[in-house]
Amino acid sequence: MKEISCKLLVIGAGPGGYICAIRAGQLGVDTVIVEAGKPGGTCLNVGCIPSKALIHAAEEFEKVAHMAGGKSPLGISVSAPVLDLGKTIAWKDGIVSRLNSGVAGLLKKAGVKTVHGWAMFRDGKTVEVETETGSQVIRAETIVIATGSAPVELPFLPFGGPVISSTEALALSVVPKKLAVVGGGYIGLELGMAFAKMGAEVTVVEALPRVLAQYDAELTRPVVKRLAALGVEVMTEAKAKGLSTKGDALLVETADGKNTKVSADKILVTVGRKPVTEGWGLDQIDLDMSGKFIRIDDQCRTSMRGIFAIGDVTGEPMLAHRAMAQGEMVAEIVAGHKRNWDKRAIPAVCFTDPELVTVGLSPEEAKAQGEIKIGLFPFAANGRAMTKLGEDGFVRVVARADNHLVLGIQAVGQGVSELSAAFGLALEMGARLEDIAGTIHAHPTQGEGFQEAALKALGHALHI
C-alpha cells in the first residue's frame, strides 16, 4: 500500500475543490487533490456548463424554426430546420472535455498532485483512496472536504428507465416526444423550456402554488408568460405519485384532489439536490452537522481542528461561484493569510427564458428591515432590448429610504445573466442609489436599465 504526505489534501475536484487546490499550489502549499470522476465536478461535467450549452442550442433551433414559420419580424425566411440531438450532445461533450483538460492543466501548473479514486477517511488526518492501481494512503496536516451534491431521488420515482435526473437529461440522444418535469424550480424550468424549444411536449408538475417559488411573483411573471407561449403545460399544487404500470405516464394528484395521468416518454425529476455526505467515511470522524449539511464557521472551519468544508456540502446557496470563493479563501488561510467570509451578497442566476438575476435582498426581505425605496425600469423602454426582440422584463433596485444604500437588485430579461457582475459589484462596494445613477452607462445597452432603475428610485427617471 502506497503512502504519501502533504500539507493540504482536498477531497473533490469540483469548482470549490479545484480552485482551493490551485490557489494553494500558487501560494507554495504542498497540495494533493482527490477526485473519483473527471475534474470540474457536477458543474463542469453534468451541470452548469453542459446545461447552458443545451439551452443555447435550443434557443438557436427555436429562432430558426420561428423564421421558417414566416413569423420573424426581422424579415428573415429559411427552410424548416432539423435538429440532430446526437450532434448537439457531441458538441456539448467537446466543450466539457476542453474544460476538463483545462482544469487538469491548471492543477498541474500550480504543482498540485492529482490522485484519481474515491477517498475514505481513516481519521481526521488520513484518508485511503482506492485507485486503479491499488490503495493509496494520504496523510495531511489539513483536509478540505469539497464533495459537492447530488440530485434528490424520490422513493416513488427512483431513477432508471424513463425516470431521469438532470444528468441523464443532458445526455439524451433524441428529443423526447413527451416530457414530464417533476419540480418547477430553476433546474426543471431551464431544461423543460430547452426541450420545449426543441420540439418536446412538456408538462411541469409543481407541488407549490407557483413555479420558481424562491423568487417573487413579479419577477417570475415574464417566465410564466413565456412558458405558455412555448406550449408548456404547468400544473401547480399538483403532486407526482409515481410511474404508471406500463411506464409510459406519470401519476399525478391534481390541486382538486383528483388523480390523473401525464403521458411521458421521459420523466425528469428535479426536486432539488442533496449534499454528498455518505460513502467517504463521515462516521470515522466527528463533525458537527447543521441538518444534513456540514456545519462551518466564517472561515469554513468544521468542528474538527484541521478540517475545512466548502461548497454544496455546507449548505445553501448551492452555487458554484460560492464554492469557488470559499475554496480560494480556505487556500489562503492554510497558507497563513488572514481571511474570513465577509461577502455582502452572492448573485444567483436562473437561465430560463427570459433569464432571472437576483443579488441581495428582495423587496419583501428589505421591507422587514425598515422603510425602502424601489426603482423599476422595464426593458420595453430600452432601445437595445427592442433591437434584440427582448422587451419583456425589467431591472429593479431596492434601497434604504433614509440613506439610499442599495440592499438588493433583481432583473428578468433576455441575457440579463451578464448584468450579475455589475449587480454584485454594486452591493459588495456598498453602493448608494446616487452611485449607480451617477455612473455613465454605455448606450445602447441593456445595462442602462440598471442606471434608469436607480434614477426611478430617486424620483427622476429619464426614459419612462
What's the CATH number of domain 161-270, 3.40.50.970, 3.30.2130.10, 3.40.50.300, 3.50.50.60?
A: 3.50.50.60
Would you state the torsion angle of the CA atoms of residues 275, 281, 287, 288, taken in this order, to the nearest 10 degrees?
Answer: 50
Q: Smallest Cα–Cα separation from 232: which of 214, 269, 206?
A: 206
Q: Smallest Cα–Cα separation from 163: which of 101, 107, 234, 243?
A: 243
Q: Which residues of the chain have pLDDT under 70?
A: 1
CB contact at 8 A, 266 and 281? no
CATH class of 345-456: alpha beta
pLDDT value of residue 1:
67
pLDDT value of residue 70:
85
pLDDT digit string, tens, across residues 115-168: 999 999 999 999 999 999 899 999 999 999 999 999 999 999 999 999 999 999
Of 404, 443, 460, 463, the active-site residue reads: 443
User: How far apart (Å, rounded) are the C-alpha atoms in residues 66 and 112?
Assistant: 49
Cis omega (within 30 of 0) for bond into 50: no
Contacts of 209 (CB under 8 A, 6+ apart): 236, 237
Residue type for 460, please?
A: H
Owner of C-alpha cell 480552485: 19
460 counts as catalytic: no
pLDDT value of residue 2:
84
pLDDT value of residue 69:
84
What residue spans define the domains of the chain?
A: 1-44+87-149+272-333, 161-270, 345-456
CATH number of 1-44+87-149+272-333: 3.50.50.60
User: How far apart (Å, rounded) are the C-alpha atoms in residues 18 and 120?
Assistant: 19
CB contact at 8 A, 127 and 281? yes
Fold agreement between 1-44+87-149+272-333 and 161-270: yes
pTM value?
0.96
